[in-house]
Every structure is written in C-alpha cells, then in structure tokens.
Amino acid sequence: MKFTLSWLKEHLETSASLADIVETMIAVGLEVEHVDDPAERLKAFTIGEVIEAEKHPEADKLKVCKVATRDGVLQIVCGAPNARKGLKVAYAPVGAYVPGVDLTLTKAKIRGVESLGMMCSARELMLGEDHDGIIEAPTEAKVGDGVAAWLGAYDPVIEFEATPNRPDTNAVAGVARDLAAAGLGRLVTKAPAPVRGEFPCPQKIGLHFPKGAENACPMFAGRYIRGVKNGPSPKWLADRLRAIGLRPISALVDVTNLLTYDRARPLHVYDADKLKGEIRARLGARGESFVALDNKTYAVDEAMTVIADDNGVLGLGGIIGGEATGCTEKTVNVFLECAYFDPLRTAKTGRRLGIHSDARHRFERGVDPDFVAPGLEAATRVIIDICGGTPSDILVAGEKPDARRTIAFPPSEVKRLTGIDVDPQKSEAILSALGFKVSRADPWLVDVPSWRPDVEGKADLVEEIARIVGLAALPAAVLPARAAVEMPKLTPAQTRRMAARRALAARGLLECVTWSFADERHAALFCDGPNWLAAQGLLLANPISSDLGAMRPSMLPNLVAALRRNADRGRDDLALFEVAPTYASDRPDGQQTVAGGARLSHPRRHWAKAERAADAFTAKADAVAALEAAGAKVDQLQATADAPPWYHPGRSGVLRLGPKLALAHFGEIHPRVLKAMDVDGPVIAFEAFLDSIPASKPKATKTKPALDAPELLPVRRDFAFVVDDKVTAEALLKAVRSAEKKLIADVGLFDVYQGKGVPEGRKSMAVEVTLQPRDKTLTDEEIDGVSKAIVTAVEKLTGGTLRA
C-alpha cells in the first residue's frame, strides 16, 4: 500500500516530520517498506540558468553553454534542442549520481570542449518519461534552489505492508486514524455528505441468490448519474494516482481508484447506456464467460459471484469489471455501483482465476460494511465535481451485513498478556481514538467499529492498546527458573543424531545438508521404483522444479549427486554424510532419521604410505561408527549379504541385530544406478537407521562394574584354517570363540588367502587367539588342550581344517 504525504495530510492534521510519521507507522504496526522523498532523492540537483548558448565548434547538434549555478558560472556542453539563453534548468554538478542514466558525473571533454556538469531531462532525474529536451523550470525559480520544490516533486511517497488482518489500513484514512491515535496529530477525515438525488434511479437492480448463498453479496447499492463528461482526470487526481504507481485511465475510472485507496472502498462505474435490463448480483452458471477489463476472457461457475444484466455476465463481483460495459470518452450516462461482497468467496474466486486486483485485495480482507452508502455518496461528489452530471436517488438491494460486536473486556487483560502497566484512562482513550466505543461496566463492554473485522476478543483489544502505547514499553522479564540447575533432557533420538554426526565428522567425512526432495528419477532408483513413490504419497503436486519432485526415500541419491557435482569441479576424493530425515510414506511414522554417507575415493599418493581406496569395508566402518556413537551394541551386530538392489550385489551388506532388525546398509553403489545418474564410480555408501536402534534400558545406577584386570600374562597362538569359500569370517570367528568360553579373551583375523597352496573353492583364514589365564599360569598341556578344542570346533561348525 502506497500513499503520498500530502494525501495523508487530508486526513491527518499534523506538524510531524516525515521521519516521525515513518517511525510512528512502524511503531503501531504499519511496516514501512520504502520511503521515496523527492527532496532527499534530488538534493544534488539545483536550479541553474543558461546565460549563453553557442554552437559547439565540432558538432552541429551540441551546444556549449555558460550556466549560472550554485557553484558559479560553469561551461556545460549540452545536446538538448531546447537549451537556450535565459532557460532555468536542473543542474547536476560533477560528482552527482544521475539516476535515470545510472552514472556518476565526472569532468568531461566532449568533442574537445570541457564540460562541468549536466543539465538534466525529466527522464534523467526519473521525474517522468520526457527526454526530448532538458527540464524547463519556471522562470521565477532561483538559481541554487533545490529542484524538487520548483518541479512539483515535493510529495514524499510512503509504501508499507498492510497486514491481511487490517483491511482498514488499505485506506489512507485508516493510516491517518492509527497515527492520530498514536498522538501524531488530529484525525480530520470527513464523513461524506449526501448528494441529493435529482430523480428516481431508472436502473433496476437486484440480488438473486439461492438460499444459503445470500451472504455472497448481502448488499448492492447504486445510482444513476446523467449527463457526465468523461475525459482525462484533472492534474491533481492524475498526479496522485501516478505517485502511488497507478495509471490514470479516465476521470470516471480514476475516481473509483481514488476511493479504493482513500477509503478502502472499491466501486464500479458502468456506462449505463450499455446495460440491458436489471443489473443484478447472482451466482455464475457453468458455461458463462465474459471479457474483463484486462482484456482476458474468464469462464465463471456457480461458486462465483457475478454481476449480470439481461445480456449476461458483466463482471466478477468484487474482483474485476467487464470490458463491454466499461466507460469510455463517449460515456454520457453512468451507473455507479457500491456493494459488499463476501471475503471468502471473493478470495476463492480470485485465486482460482489468478486475478490480482485492488478490489479483490480489499474485498477478500473485508471492506467496511457500514461504508457502502457513504462510499457511494463520496464517489458521486467527486464525479460530479469533475465530470458534471446529475445524480439520481440511491437504490439499495439487500442490507448491510451486521458487523456489530461487543467484547467484554477487563482492562487488567493488558497487564496479564503483555506485562505492561497501562492506566485504564489511557486504554480507554486509545480504544476511543481507534473508533471503539467503551462502556465502563465491570468488565468493560467494548463495541468494535465496523471497519475492524479482525477484532474478535480480549486479546485483540490488548493488541490495540499495546501497539498504540508502543511495544517499547514491554518489560524485559526473565522466565522463572524451574530448578536451581535447569536439567532439560534431549530425547534419545536427538542425542543419537548429535553423536552420530560428531562421530562421522571425526572419521573425516564432511557433513552436508541436502534437500528433503530429490529428482523423482533418481529417487526411484533408491526404492521400489516410481510406482512405489506414488503409492506412498511421496510425489509433490507443485514441486519447485521438475528435478525436485519427490520426497527422498533415501538420502543417497542426493549425496551421490553431490559427489558428482564436486567431482565435476575436480574434487574426486571426497566423503560426505548427512544425518537427516528420509521418507517412506506421507504419514508421520513414514519419516525416519538416517545417518547416510557416500564416498568417492581417489586417494592422493603419499611418500609415507600406500593409500588404499575406500571400499565396502570403509562404509561398513562408517556405519558401525555411526551406530556405535548412537548407542547401538555394535559387538552384537551381524553382517548379512542381502543389501537392497541399489547396492552392488556382491560388495555390500546389511548390519543386523538379530535376523529381523536391520540397522544399516553398506557397500558399493550398484554400477547401473551410478550409470543412470551419470556418475563415475565406484561410490561407497552406507545408510544407518538411527531410529531403529533399540532403546537402551535406563540404568539403575551410574556406578560402573568393577575393573577386570587379570594379573597373569596372556598367551597368544596362531591358527590357519582352510574352509569352504562360502564360510564367512563371522562364522569362523564364532566357531573359534565357542571352543573355550572362559580362556579365550580375543580372536583376531589377520589373514585371508586364496590361491596357490589352497585348493580351488576354498580359502585360508588365519586367526590369532588370545588366552587369558585367570588363577594360574597355563601349562603346555592346557594350552594344547585349548588348541585342540579350537580345531575341533572349527571343523565341526564350519568344516574347516587346520592348514598344513
């Protein structure tokens, strides 16, 4: 919403400065977004007088002028045809920024002649479109004065955000009311004086709504004005509309725009000679359409309020008028409409048709239902002042919706909700200044003015008082401590995430945050396919772009795509992770938190070590680190080779706690998936499902178990077993451990070998077993006994034999 300072002053008698007005608007909740003060904007430019204008020796179209300025008599080269002796001009000195050409002036030589400054056109100062010549200031303008006042560009324009709850502030009068209440001046808005009708209104009007839809347009008023003369608006009106960014059209239309901004009261004016029969408000019918003032054709239906005559739909009530019955230069007789349209229906219709108009903006927020007839009177007055004509009586169909509300208001509510002590006298004065009527019963009874549909209860009145008092009065109070030491607790899920992140970063991975969305084609590679995404409700109806159309079922597509982007920039040795949500359905329980990571591994050579590229086991270690940090009992994890299909079928696995509970996937990404994403692999990845980690039982005590540190030296023995290729390391280690539960303290696998010396289809695995004696040193016989038991157990459980 925009308005000019002089316009405001028609409603507010004030001596406040522009800065005070802006400050106060902000303080009462009218958020000023922009102030254009021409005096400030044009302060570099002053009046000059051309005292000599000679032809440039080198150019026919240029003149070399001597100009009297604030800075003395200067030589300025100028190309304007109207540069002539005696002309008062807008002088821009060297160093000034000229907005219309976006440049800062410097001393220049133009075709060999020095030029010190510039004489500006209207366009160069952004005061208009004129660029045929330089500005001609009034002859009485004084050299050295600022140009703004002499050029009529003295009126500051203020733009602010009118919040959706305050329809009254879409009017200059409404802004003035708030400012007056805040003590910035006196509200001098006049109630429109009735204009006497000279004859009965010849235009029939009517409301035709089915039962239940009467509220679409409860009141429709209008009058006929005979013998008007339409044409361009007078300068004051055209200037005013232009200043707030509107294009003057014709006096009749401009008057309705004036009322729209002055009083938030949109009206419509029809060329009465183009109307046929009764003009009525009704619901639209399927199949009907009309050409609107924006020259577009709109189809209407039974959910929309239309204005129609015998020929059909003329326009959409409260949104936009029709082309066919609009006013032109030739219009002589008009019908002026002023109605009340239902906010909800207006909003829905406007949104469905995508029409943004000043009328819709106001009707959908709620116009003042008590200002229908007064608005009509006010518009009539301006029209006959400008266009002449004779008005008829006013016709009204229906009646104004009852907006009366009374709120029981204990004045103590102000303190209860804001903590501000406000004298009840002051509260009452503020409410009265804003148009509320206060009856001092106990509690107070406060009548809400018709233009404030947003005020429904006590808290709304508190806000009115608080914003006018000013929120600077809020005390800075401290929330009472709930305990001497505040001991809030993060949930286990929250601490898991924090720990997993730090653990992965400590392993050298970079944490990133990627979209919860993914490219639908990529997402489909990391789940059961596109149909699954649709069936689970994971496709957006209005994605921001086509490559962000699905909720990600896994974060891997985003991480893999990120690896690729980095690789394209030359970073092909990179490990990324993210601890964040993935989505398996559109239900709350479909969202789960995953710690996922992906590596692209091309380690740089180093003199001190042979760098090993990351492989499935790097990912396994990543997953275990994340799970361990998050509190999973990782010593009980088992790995199985059945990772989902987006992983390499042979180089991937699942980490499980028991057969049913999968806690992580890890391994190489399937080469076909990488190809579909146009990524050069291999890419190593993992997904650890933090939410699936079983909750640990709350501990009864913080005491740790006693330390178990045997006195006796441990004994180590190596064994190499030849087993079938299918026997897993996990199975072998388990078999070894099972041989002697008391003495075997640790089993480490230190070699896996296939090849010469080992039969085809078999492999050798070598383990180091640590025996920890407890009570006495082990004898050779005892050690041999354990060794035999190990060999027997391995043979029995895995079919493996000791390697010869």
Partner 1 sequence: MSDIEKIESETLQRIAAAGDIAALEDVRVASLGKKGVISERMKELGKMSPEERKAAGAALNLLKDKIAAAIDAKKQRLEDAELDRRLATEKVDVTLPVAPSPKGRIHPVTQVSEEIVAIFSAMGFDVAEGPDIEDDFHNFTALNFPPDHPAREMHDTFFFRPRADGSRMLLRTHTSPVQIRAMMTKKPPIRIIIPGRTFRCDSDQTHTPMFHQVEGLVIDRETHMGHLKGTLEAFCKAFFEVDSVRTRFRPHFFPFTEPSAEMDIGYERVGNEIRIGQGEAWMEILGSGMVHTNVLRNCGLDPDEYQGFAFGMGIDRLAMLKYGIPDLRDFFAADARWLEHYGFDPLDIPNLATGLSR
- Calculate the CA 578 to chain-centre distance: 24
Least Å distance, CB 303 to partner 1, is 11
CA separation for the pair 57, 64 (Å, rounded): 9
Q: Which is nearer to partner 1, 426 or 507 (CB)?
A: 507
Q: Which is nearer to partner 1, 335 or 577 (CB)?
A: 577
Least Å distance, CB 28 to partner 1, is 6
Q: Which is nearer to partner 1, 151 or 559 (CB)?
A: 559
Least Å distance, CB 464 to partner 1, is 9
- Calculate the CA 359 to chain-centre distance: 25
Q: Which is nearer to partner 1, 66 or 405 (CB)?
A: 405
Least Å distance, CB 166 to partner 1, is 7
Q: Which is nearer to partner 1, 323 or 691 (CB)?
A: 691
CA separation for the pair 20, 610 (Å, rounded): 72
CA separation for the pair 93, 797 (Å, rounded): 98
CA separation for the pair 341, 360 (Å, rounded): 10
Burial (0-12, 13-18, 19+ Cβ within 10 Å), 585: middle
Q: Which is nearer to partner 1, 476 or 706 (CB)?
A: 476
Least Å distance, CB 416 to partner 1, is 7
Least Å distance, CB 23 to partner 1, is 11
Least Å distance, CB 244 to partner 1, is 21
CA separation for the pair 66, 72 (Å, rounded): 10
| Contact predicate 794/735, CB 8 Å | yes
Q: Which is nearer to partner 1, 410 or 658 (CB)?
A: 410
Q: Exposed e or buried b for every residue in 224-245, given b needs 16+ CB within 10 A? A: bbbebebeebeeebbbbbebbe
Least Å distance, CB 784 to partner 1, is 41
CA separation for the pair 49, 141 (Å, rounded): 9
CA separation for the pair 359, 338 (Å, rounded): 11
Q: Which is nearer to partner 1, 426 or 803 (CB)?
A: 426
Q: Which H helix or E strand runs over 372?
A: helix 372-387
Q: Which is nearer to partner 1, 52 or 628 (CB)?
A: 628
CA separation for the pair 222, 279 (Å, rounded): 10
Strand order, beta sheet including 2-4: 2-4, 157-161, 31-36
DSSP string for 457-514: SHHHHHHHHHHHH-GGG---PPPPPSSSS------HHHHHHHHHHHHHHHTTPEE---
Q: Which is nearer to partner 1, 91 or 444 (CB)?
A: 444
Burial (0-12, 13-18, 19+ Cβ within 10 Å), 145: middle
Least Å distance, CB 504 to partner 1, is 7
Least Å distance, CB 587 to partner 1, is 8
Amino acid at 619: A
DSSP string for 152-220: T----EEEEE--TT-GGGGSHHHHHHHHHHTTSSEE-PPPPPPPPPSS---S-EEEE--TT-GGGSSEE
Least Å distance, CB 551 to partner 1, is 7
Q: What is the 3-state secondary structure (H, E, C) of 618-663?
A: HHHHHHHHHHHHCCCCHHHCEEECCCCCCEEEEEEEEEEECCCEEE
Q: Which is nearer to partner 1, 130 or 586 (CB)?
A: 586
The 3-state DSSP class for residue 398 equals: strand
The 3-state DSSP class for residue 131 equals: coil
Q: Which is nearer to partner 1, 124 or 368 (CB)?
A: 368
Least Å distance, CB 132 to partner 1, is 38
| Contact predicate 492/631, CB 8 Å | yes
The 3-state DSSP class for residue 267 equals: coil
Q: Which is nearer to partner 1, 237 or 623 (CB)?
A: 623
Q: Helices 18-28 and 172-181 meet at what angle, rounded to 10?
A: 90
CA separation for the pair 40, 156 (Å, rounded): 9
Least Å distance, CB 159 to partner 1, is 16
CA separation for the pair 315, 345 (Å, rounded): 15
Q: Which is nearer to partner 1, 275 or 283 (CB)?
A: 283
Q: Which is nearer to partner 1, 64 or 430 (CB)?
A: 430
CA separation for the pair 134, 119 (Å, rounded): 6
Least Å distance, CB 99 to partner 1, is 23
Amino acid at 627: L
| Contact predicate 606/617, CB 8 Å | no
Least Å distance, CB 455 to partner 1, is 10
CB < 8 Å & 24+ apart, contacts of 291-296: 291/322, 291/323, 291/324, 292/316, 292/320, 292/321, 292/322, 292/323, 292/355, 293/320, 293/321, 293/322, 293/323, 293/326, 294/320, 294/355, 295/323
CA separation for the pair 638, 629 (Å, rounded): 17
Least Å distance, CB 486 to partner 1, is 4
Do the strands 279-283 and 205-208 form a parallel or antiparallel pair, or are they unpaired?
A: parallel
Q: Which is nearer to partner 1, 155 or 578 (CB)?
A: 578
Q: Which is nearer to partner 1, 73 or 534 (CB)?
A: 534
Least Å distance, CB 612 to partner 1, is 12
Q: Which is nearer to partner 1, 270 or 517 (CB)?
A: 517
Residue 762's φ and ψ, nearest 5 degrees, are -130, 165
CA separation for the pair 390, 354 (Å, rounded): 38
Least Å distance, CB 517 to partner 1, is 7
DSSP state of 713: P
